[in-house]
Amino acid sequence: SQTIHQWPATLVQPVGSPLSLECTVEGTSNPNLYWYRQAAGRGLQLLFYSVGIGQISSEVPQNLSASRPQDRQFILSSKKLLLSDSGFYLCASARLAENYEQYFGPGTRLTVT
């Protein structure tokens, strides 16, 4: 089965600083990869998804960006963080062979101060 790794687990960053969150996937190949953000007590908001290396689709206009330099690596970045970027960020992986059941990583809790 798939294992999703995310780091760091928690992060406190000042407004205006850059961001880089990394997600790697084990136990599968050519997955669809997703970045979600979850505000406190709320559902998951899809930020980006990728169906392959270098293929990124953005769902919400914002100051965040994503990249997929390798098949099982997905990176979420920002050049300048905003207070509103605070939240719980989840990476997920899904494959057609498994009916696109989403496997989630442990998440990164980001606090922008």
CA distances from 102 to 35, 42, 54, 82, 91 (A): 11, 18, 20, 28, 10
CB of 79 to other proteins, least distance (A): 26
Distance (Å, whole) CA 88 – CA 71: 24
CB of 92 to other proteins, least distance (A): 8
Segment 16 to 55, residues that bind other proteins, using CB under 8 A:
32, 34, 36, 41-46, 49, 51
101 binds other proteins (CB under 8 A): yes
- Site for other proteins contains 107 (CB under 8 A): yes
**The residue to which tokens 């990728």 are assigned:** 50
Nearer to other proteins, 56 or 65 (CB): 56
Q: Does 56 bind other proteins (CB under 8 A)?
A: no
Task: Candidates 57, 63, 84, 113: give the one binding other proteins (CB under 8 A).
Answer: 57
Q: Element (H or E) spanning 103, and its range?
A: strand 103-104
Q: 35 with 76: CB under 8 angstroms?
A: yes
Q: SS3 for 85?
A: helix
Q: Which residues bind other proteins (CB under 8 A)?
A: 32, 34, 36, 41-46, 49, 51, 57, 90, 94, 96, 99-107
